């Protein structure tokens, strides 16, 4: 129910109600519960970074759980997107490897963290900052996903660099028709296949990119390629509606590509985040 009132029918009061009920029943919060709480404090108005930071401190203090990439991604998004503080988002990202909250984990191996920081830089930062971070990701050996590439496609398009945006899109692969794209979600094993496979959302992002740069013909081409993939009708017509809306004066702009919700943090058991 917490997730329902976070994403489907946004209402932070109800999210907190179900969290309180969970604790009163003696159920210990899971890693996912903490992520929902972090997201609730920075995605549902009014933004409350202080409570978000307290929640993160509770997570760090819980010796039964590890701080995961999704938690760091939520923090980065909270500061960079929700609060519009790019420097703070970068500070959080840079301090991850040495923060005691890692508890032996390797969050920078998780693509969701790179997705979050790239999204902050693509949306609120500069194109140079985004490209520098992309180079850091490549050098780190982290495996990108379609969602990381979606951010890059959107980011380059936002800055009018459609040639690079298309290059990212074309560097990706399609899996067999009717099969879900591999390598884009966490799993217990790592595939030896290093390709990055497009998701339906990748086609949507590319269509938005072309439309936002006044290239409706190119957007039509991407839609035709998407149709050939044989996605369910609802998925295809969602993308089709982008072009229909643009043709009716709807604009078809990039919109807000905010991948992972975030959190916030300053205090971890009385120790500031910056002190690590």
Could you state, in order of their start, the residue ranges of all structural domains in the chain?
2-275
Rounded to whole angstroms, how far apart are CA atoms 211 and 242?
Answer: 9
Q: In this predicted model, what pLDDT tens digit does every residue of 205-258 receive, in sequence order?
A: 999 999 999 999 999 999 999 999 999 999 999 999 999 988 666 555 555 444
Percent pLDDT > 70 in the chain is 86
Asked if residue 145 has pLDDT above 70, the reply is yes
pLDDT of residue 103: 75
pLDDT at 274 over 70: no
The residue that leads in pLDDT, 104 or 157, is: 157
pLDDT tens digits, 99-123? 888 877 788 889 999 999 999 999 9
- Cα dihedral 36, 69, 203, 227, rounded to 10, equals -80
Which range is least confidently modeled, 6-10, 59-63, 261-265?
A: 261-265
Q: Answer for the pair 99, 266: CB distance below 8 angstroms, yes or no.
A: no
Identify the CA nearest to 56 among candidates 97, 119, 22, 101. 101
């Amino acid at each position: 129910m917490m997730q329902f009132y976070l994403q489907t029918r946004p209402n932070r009061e109800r999210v907190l109600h179900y969290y309180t009920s969970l604790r009163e029943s003696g159920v210990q919060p899971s890693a996912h519960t903490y992520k929902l709480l972090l997201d609730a404090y920075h995605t549902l108005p009014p933004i409350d970074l202080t409570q978000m930071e307290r929640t993160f401190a509770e997570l760090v203090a819980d010796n039964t759980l590890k701080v995961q990439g999704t938690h760091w991604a939520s923090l980065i998004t909270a500061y960079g997107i929700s609060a519009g503080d790019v420097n703070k988002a970068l500070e959080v990202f840079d301090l991850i490897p040495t923060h005691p909250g890692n508890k032996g984990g390797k969050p920078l191996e998780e693509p969701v963290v790179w997705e979050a920081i790239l999204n902050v830089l693509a949306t609120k930062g500069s194109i140079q900052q985004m490209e520098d971070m992309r180079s850091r990701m490549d050098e780190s050996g982290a495996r990108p996903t379609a969602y990381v590439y979606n951010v890059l496609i959107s980011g380059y398009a936002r800055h009018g660099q459609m040639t690079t945006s298309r290059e990212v899109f074309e560097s990706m692969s399609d899996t067999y028709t009717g099969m879900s794209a591999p390598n884009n979600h966490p799993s217990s094993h790592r595939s030896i296949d290093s390709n990055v496979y497009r998701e339906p959302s990748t086609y949507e992002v590319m269509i938005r990119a072309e439309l936002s740069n006044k290239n409706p013909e190119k957007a039509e081409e991407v839609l035709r390629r998407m149709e050939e993939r044989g996605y369910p009708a609802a998925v295809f017509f969602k993308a089709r509606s982008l072009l229909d809306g643009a043709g009716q004066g709807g604009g078809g702009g990039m919109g807000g590509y905010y991948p992972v919700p975030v959190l916030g943090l300053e205090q971890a058991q009385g120790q500031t985040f910056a002190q690590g």
